[in-house]
Structure 1
C-alpha cells in the first residue's frame, strides 16, 4: 500500500508531504482547488509522461517521491530482484524528477530506472480509475488475470501456459528439422563417411608413440648392427682388442705385486674396468641378437605413418588430436539423429498439442462459468450506480490456434444504456461511467484483485442522492480489503470515508499554492457542511453533516 508521498514544485504545489493510512480516504475541496494534482503527481511517479508545464513556475525542477509497503506483495519483490532494483526490505520507493526543460529521470529504490520499469512497478502497486491513463482494467491481459482469479483458475492458467510453451518448442524443432532435412542428410552422410574413415584408421596415442619408436629403430637397423659389431670387435675380438690388452696388463700388475704391494690399488681399478668392459661385450652381443632388421616390418610402419599423417593433414590437426576429431564427429551425428527422429518429433508435437488443448478446454469451461457469474454481479451493481438498464458482459473471443493464455482472449464489454450494443470497456466514453463500472468490478472481484491501492477520480460524476450514498458505502466496503482514495465533491461519499483530506489553494506572496490538510472530526463536520450548504453554513447544515458522519461511522 501507499505509505508516503512527497511533492516538490509540482504545478501549484510548493512542498507537500503526506502520510497515508489503510482504509477509505476521501479528498474533498472546492472546485478548482487542485484535487486532481495529487493523482497527477502519483501518475508521474508511476511512469506517466510529463512535460515542462508540470514544473511550478519559477522553479528549476519538480520532484515526486512515493513510498510503498510491499511486504505483502511477493510478486513485486520478485520483480525487483529480477530487475536488480531491490531496496530496503518490504519497501519500494519510486522517485521522479522533471526539470524545467522537460527532461525527466526516474528512480526505483534509489537506482536509475526507465519509464517502462516505473510503469511495470506501478502496475503492481496502484490503480487509478477515472479519465487517467493508468488503468489496468482496460488492458486485456489484466482482464484475463482478473477473470482467472475470480474463477479460481490461476493454477490452471499457468499449466496451460506451460503446456503451450512446450508444444511450441517441439513445433519449432520439427519445423527446423523438416525445412533442413536435405542439408542435414548431406551433413549426416559426410560425417558418417568421416567417422568410418577414422574408425578404420584405429588411431590411438599410445600406439602412435610406439610406432614412431619402432620405425626409428628399424630405419637405422643396418647402421645399428654395424655399430654393435664394431664394438664387439674392438673390445674382444680384434688382435688389439681392449680386453686382451687389459688382461695382459692385469697379469703383469699381479706379478709386480710380488715386489711392490702398492700396485694392488691400481690392480683393483684395472680388474673393475676389465669386468665393466666384459659386461659391455655381453650387452652388445645381446643387442645384436635381438635387433630386428626386417624390411617388411619397416615398410608396414612407414605406411602406417603415412596414413596417420595424411589423416592429420586432412582434418588440419596434429596426429595426437585425431581422436578428438572422431569424438566431435560422433557427437554431431548424435545431435543430428536419423530419419526416424523427424517422425518421432512429429508424434511428440501432436501429443503436446493434444495435452495443451485438453487443459485449455477445461480452462475455457471454467472461464465461461465465471464470466457469466461476474457479468451478472457487475450488471446488478450498475443498476445501483445511476446506470439503470445498463449491462456488463465478459466476452470470450475465440483464437484460431490458441496461445499461451488459452483458446480465447478476454474482453470486458459494457452497454451503458438499454438497447445499446455492448462495447469494449476501453471504448467507454464517459469518465464518470468508467469510474463507476470500475468500482463495480473492483467490488465484485475484491477478493482476487492483486493491486493493493485503488484511486477513484470522478466516480460520482453525474450522480447524487441515494446513488451517491450507495457509492460511498461501496467504497467503504472496498476499503476493508484495499487502500482506497477517492476524489469527490459529494458529501454522501465523503461522509462514508474512514479518513478525509481537504484540498485548498491560496495566494501567497502573489503566487497561487495548493495545500492538503488532514481533517479531524470537527473539521470533517465543517467540510461536509460546506459541501452540503454551499457559501452559507448554518447550524442546521452542521447538524445534518454530523448526522451523516454518525450514520456511516
Structure 2
C-alpha cells in the first residue's frame, strides 16, 4: 500500500509531501490544476520513461519518492527484490526514489540502494496499477489475461507444468540418444578398425616405462660387456681372487691358535671372503640384468616405437591406450544396442507427451468453466455502468502444439463487442476512452476478491458520464476499495462523495511563478468542494445541500 509520496521540482510542483491511507481516496480539482502532473510524478517513481520536460523550469533536477508499507514475505515484489540482492529489514517500509536531471539523466534507488530503471519498473508494476484512458498495460495486455483467469478460477497449472518439464526432458533425452547413435554409427568403420588394431597390439598400462627401462639396461650392458668380463675373470677359477682368499684362509686357520694376532687376521680374512662372495653374486646378477642380446634389443625397440606411434595416432598417452580401447568397445556396444534403447526412449516420450496432453486438456476445461463464470460476473456489472449494449467474453483459444508450454495449451484474451451484432475484438482496439475505463472497472470488480496490485489508480474513469452511471461507478469503486487501496482522479461529485479520504489539487500564482499544491480536506472543506463540482464557478445553497445529501447517502 502506498503510504507517502514526496515530489520535488516536477513541472508546477515545487515541493509536495502527501500521505495516503487505505480504502478509496479521491483527488479532485479544476481542469488544468495539475492532476496529470501528480500521476506523471508517481509514474516517474514507478520506472516509467524519464522525460526531462518534467523538471521544473530553472531547477537542476527533479525527484520523486514513493513509500510503501512493508510487503509480506511472499509478495512478488519482495521476491523480486531478494532475487536482485536487495533485502528489507523486518518492519522496514519499501522506499522507491527516482531523480531526473534537466539534461535527461536519471537515477533510481530502492531503499537507498541503486538499481536499474528496468527493475524499478518491474517492482512498480507489482505495487501499483495505473489505469488511464491511454493505458496499454495491466488488464489491456493480453499476456496477463491467462494468469488473471487462472487466479479467478483457481486453476492450478502446477500439474501441467510438471508434466511439461517431464515431457521436454524425455524429448531431450531421445534427441541426445539419437545424436549419439547416429554419430557413432557414422564412425563404426573407424571404431571397428581402431579396436581391431588396438586389440592386436594389446597395450598394457605401464608398458612404456617397462620397455624403456629394459632397453636402457641393454644399452648399458653393451657398453659394460668388456668390464664385466674382466671382473668375472678376476673372481672365477682356481687362480681367481676369491679362490686365493679361501686358500689363504684355510692355511691361516691351521696356525691361528699360535698367536692372537693370527686369530684376528683369520677373522678379518673370513669377513673378506664373505664380502667377496657377495660381490661375486652381485656381479653375476648385474651381468645377467645387463646382458646384451641384439635380437631382444631390436624386439624391445620395435615394440616401444610402435607403442608411442599408436599413442600419437590416437592423441593419448601410451598408458591410456588400453582404456581407449575399452571406451571404443563401449561405443560399438551402444551402437549395437542403440535400436533397443531408442525404442524405450520413444515409448517414454510418447507416455510423457500423453500425460501432458491429459493434464493440459483438464486445465483447458477448468479455464473454460472459469471463463463462463467471469463473463457472467462482468456482464452483471455492465448495465449499471451504461454499457448495457456491450458484451464481454473471455476467449480461450487452443494453441498450436509448438506453442504449448508449462502453463498449458491455451491462449486467453479478454474481448468485447460494444454494439449488438458487432464482432468481438480486444478491449484496447474498439473501446473509447470512457468505455475503456468502465470496462476495466467492471473487470476489476469481478476479479477483486482474487487479488491484484496493492494499490490501484483510476484516472478520470467517470469522464463523460453523470447521474446514475456516476453513482454506479462510485459504488463499484467503493466496493473495490474494500479489497485494495484505490486512488481515483475524478470530476464526478457522486464518485468524490464515496471517498474515505479527499485531496484537492489546486494551482496558485505569485507574480510570474505558478505552483500546484495538494492538501487534504476536512469534512467542511470536502462538502464545499463537492458543491463546487455540482454547481460550477458559483457555489449555491442548493449545491451545498445536494453535496450534504451525497455525503450522507454513502
TM-score by length of 1: 0.86
- C-alpha change, 1:283 and 1:458, in structure 2 (3 Å) is same
Q: 1:45 to 1:341 in 2, by over 3 A?
A: farther
Is 1:276 matched with 2:272? Answer: no
CA offsets per residue over residues 18-50 of structure 1, 9 Å max, x none? 232221111112221112222212222222223
Which whole-Å CA distance do the structure 1 matches of 2:527 and 2:308 have between them?
102
Per-residue deviation, residues 292-336 of structure 1 (Å, max 9, x unmatched): 888876666455434422211212333234356457657877998
What residue in structure 2 maps to residue 75 of structure 1?
Answer: 76
Q: 1:330 to 1:547 in 2, by over 3 A?
A: farther
Kindly tell me: are residues 383 and 331 of structure 1, through their superposed partners in 2, closer, same or farther at Cα, counting changes over 3 Å?
Answer: farther
In structure 2, relative to structure 1, the CA distance for the partners of 1:238 and 1:516 (3 Å cut) is: farther
| RMSD (Å) for aligned C-alpha atoms | 3.6
Residue 60 (str. 1) matches residue 75 (str. 2): no
Counterpart position of 2:492: 490
Match of 1:93 in 2: 95
1:194 corresponding residue in structure 2: 194
Deviation at 1:472, TM superposition (A): 1.5
Give the 3-state SS of the residue equivalent to 2:452 in structure 1: coil
* Structure 1 contact 218–294 (Cα < 8 Å) conserved: yes
CA shift, 1:206, in A, is 4.0
Cα shift readout 1:166-216 (whole Å, capped 9, x = no counterpart) = 444555665677689765521354345434544554433345444444555
Change in Cα spacing, 1:460 to 1:310, as seen in structure 2 (3 Å) is same
- Please show how residues 533-552 of structure 1 align to structure 2 within 5 Å: 533-538=535-540, 541-552=543-554
Offset, 1:516:
1.3
Cα distance in 1, alignment partners of residues 355 and 80 from structure 2:
30
1:234 Cα deviation after fit: 1.4
Q: Deviations 1:420-479 (Å, cap 9, x if unpaired)?
A: 332211213422211111111111111223322111111111222222222222111111
Question: Which residue of the partner structure matches residue 384 of structure 2?
Answer: 384
Residues 494-505 of structure 1 mapped to structure 2, 5 A cutoff: 494-505=496-507
Deviation at 1:127, TM superposition (A): 0.9
Q: Alignment partner of 1:505: what SS? A: strand
Q: Which residue of 2 aligns with 1:150?
A: 152
Per the TM alignment, residue 389 of structure 1 is displaced from its structure 2 partner at its CA by: 1.8
SS class of match (2:449) = coil
User: How many pairs were matched up?
Assistant: 549
Structure 1 residue aligned with 2:139, among 116, 137, 140? 137
- Does the Cα contact within 8 Å between 1:250 and 1:270 map onto a contact in 2? no
- Measured after TM superposition, the shift of residue 58 of structure 1 is 1.0
Per the alignment, residue 348 of structure 1 pairs with 348
Instruction: Tell me by how many angstroms 1:282 deviates.
Output: 4.2
Greater shift in the superposed pair: 331-340 or 526-535? 331-340
Note if contact 1:435-1:459 (Cα within 8 Å) is conserved in structure 2.
yes
Moved more, 454-463 or 96-105: 96-105
Q: 1:33 to 1:291 in 2, by over 3 A?
A: closer
Question: Could you tell which deviates more after superposition, 459-468 or 100-109?
Answer: 100-109
3-state SS of paired residue (1:445) = helix
Residues 38-93 of structure 1 show CA distances to partners (whole Å, capped at 9, x for unaligned) of 22122222222232221111111222222333225433222223334445456543
Structure 2 unmatched runs, 5+: none
Any idea what SS the aligned residue of 2:553 has? helix
Distance of aligned partners of 1:192 and 1:475 in 2 relative to their CA distance in 1, 3 Å threshold: farther
Aligned to 2:439: 437
1:372 aligns with 2:379: no
Alpha-carbon distance, 1:541 to partner: 3.9
Task: Find the counterpart in structure 1 of residue 408 from structure 2.
Answer: 406
Q: State the distance in 1 between where 2:511 and 2:457 align.
A: 33
Does the 8 A contact of 2:505 with 2:518 survive in 1?
A: yes
**In terms of mean alpha carbon deviation, does 133-142 or 24-33 score higher?**
133-142
Alignment of 1:269-348 (within 5 A): 269-284=268-283, 301-323=300-322, 325-326=324-325, 338-348=338-348
Instruction: Give TM-score, length-normalised by structure 2.
Output: 0.86
Q: Is the 8 A contact 2:10 2:56 kept in 1?
A: yes
| Aligned twin of 1:45 | 45
Which residue does 1:125 correspond to in 2? 127
Aligned pairs (5 A) from 1:23-42: 23-42=23-42
Distance 1:338 1:307, change over 3 A: farther
Contact 1:250 1:271 in 2 (8 A): no
**Aligned-pair CA distance for 1:378:** 0.7
**Preserved CA contact (<8 Å) 1:36 1:487:** no
Alignment of 1:262-273 (within 5 A): 268-273=267-272
Identify the range of structure 1 (242-251 vs 62-71) with the bigger mean alpha-carbon deviation: 242-251
Change (3 A) 1:184 1:50: same
Q: Could you say what secondary structure the match of 2:436 adopts?
A: helix
Tell me if the contact between 1:130 and 1:432 (Cα under 8 Å) persists in the aligned partners: no
Q: Distance in 2 between matches of 1:40 and 1:332?
A: 66
Separation in 2 of the partners of 1:546 and 1:29? 19
Q: Deviations over 1:344-374 (max 9, x none)?
A: 4443333333222211111111111111221
Q: 1:492 to 1:195 in 2, by over 3 A?
A: farther
Q: 2:184 touches 2:331 (CA, 8 Å); kept in 1?
A: no
Which 5+ residue runs of structure 1 have no aligned equivalent? Answer: none
**Greater CA drift, 345-354 or 137-146:** 345-354
Match of 2:471 among 461, 469, 482: 469
Give the C-alpha shift of residue 277 in structure 1.
Answer: 0.8
**Residue matched to 2:530:** 528
Is the 1:236–1:244 Cα contact (8 Å) retained in structure 2? no
Structural mapping, 1:143-292, within 5 Å: 143-153=145-155, 155-156=156-157, 158-168=158-168, 170-171=170-171, 183-191=183-191, 193-217=193-217, 230-237=230-237, 239=239, 241=241, 244-245=244-245, 248=248, 258=258, 261=260, 268-284=267-283
SS at match of 2:150: helix
